[in-house]
Amino acid sequence: MTKCNIHYPYDSCFATKVSVGVVLVLYHAMSSRKFFVGGNWKMNGDSKSIEEYIKLLNDNTLPGNVEIVIAPPFVYLERIRKQLKPAVGLSAQNCYKVEKGAFTGEVSASMLRDIGCDWVILGHSERRHILHESDELVAEKVSMALNSGLGVIFCVGEKLDEREGGKTKDVCFRQLASLLKYKLDWNNIVIAYEPVWAIGTGKTASPEQAQEVHVWIRDWLKQNVSADAAAKCRIIYGGSVTGDNCRALGKQSDIDGFLVGGASLKPEFLKIIEARSN
């Protein structure tokens, strides 16, 4: 046992106590971040399949220590909210940057709140790359959504050529930095790391690869937002998450949940929800 020298506060005993304290703080922060599983339906579903899906969720006992959110297409949101058990949160897949006006085809965050939405997904790679949404536009949407009372699932991630070029950190940090222009409540933001090369391809980042990027993101939060935000903000993984790989991913200390695509439309979504269960 190390003997403390009371005359020198920076001796090995003090260092040991500090180290243990830091570990305990980090452990407490991790354990206080409620596991989050979101199901992004994308442009999928019809009346028949939705009825079956609602029955699946309503008829099963869901773990109370997991925050579960589903994101159907706009046209089904209100219907699903009325039929789905309250324990399951509802998310939209997009919203616009202003509250109202002459913007044909757009939907505002306040409208989503009005029909019972809790969350909105913003910055998804399919909107960034297929619909050419800029970092600046996504950041404007995030600010509007938070100000309207929605939680935001904010997506970041690199393409295959960017990963192979060693630019993963640069890309994710650039996308995150776009938010610093605004005064945001980070308690209502969930960051989803989604490597673009792993979305809908059947490929997935290894648990170690995903954990590495999540650590980078948490360190970015500490350096650019606050230590409190870094400790409390949930960072989830999205990229071909399945019932087969969810447990290995969920064991990583900085992976606080998943944003699930195709598998969220199948019964295996229930298995993914249970990824951290014994």
Q: b vs e for 204-219, b when ≥16 Cβ sit within 10 Å of the residue's Cβ? A: bbebebbbbbbebbbe
The residue from 133, 162, 194, 214 that is catalytic is: 194
- Nearest-5° Cα angle at 240, 73 to 43: 15
User: Is 132 assigned a catalytic role?
Assistant: no
Kindly list the structural domains of the chain, giving each domain's residue range(s) and its CATH number in brackets, ordered by start: 34-273 (3.20.20.70)
| Assessment of whether the complete model's pTM goes beyond 0.95 | no
User: Is 194 assigned a catalytic role?
Assistant: yes
pLDDT per position as a tens digit, 228-272: 999 999 999 998 999 999 999 999 999 999 999 999 999 999 999
The residue from 67, 124, 126, 158 that is catalytic is: 124
Closest CA to 69 of 152, 143, 141: 152
- Per-residue pLDDT, 173: 99
Is residue 96 within 8 A of residue 144, CB to CB? The reply is: yes
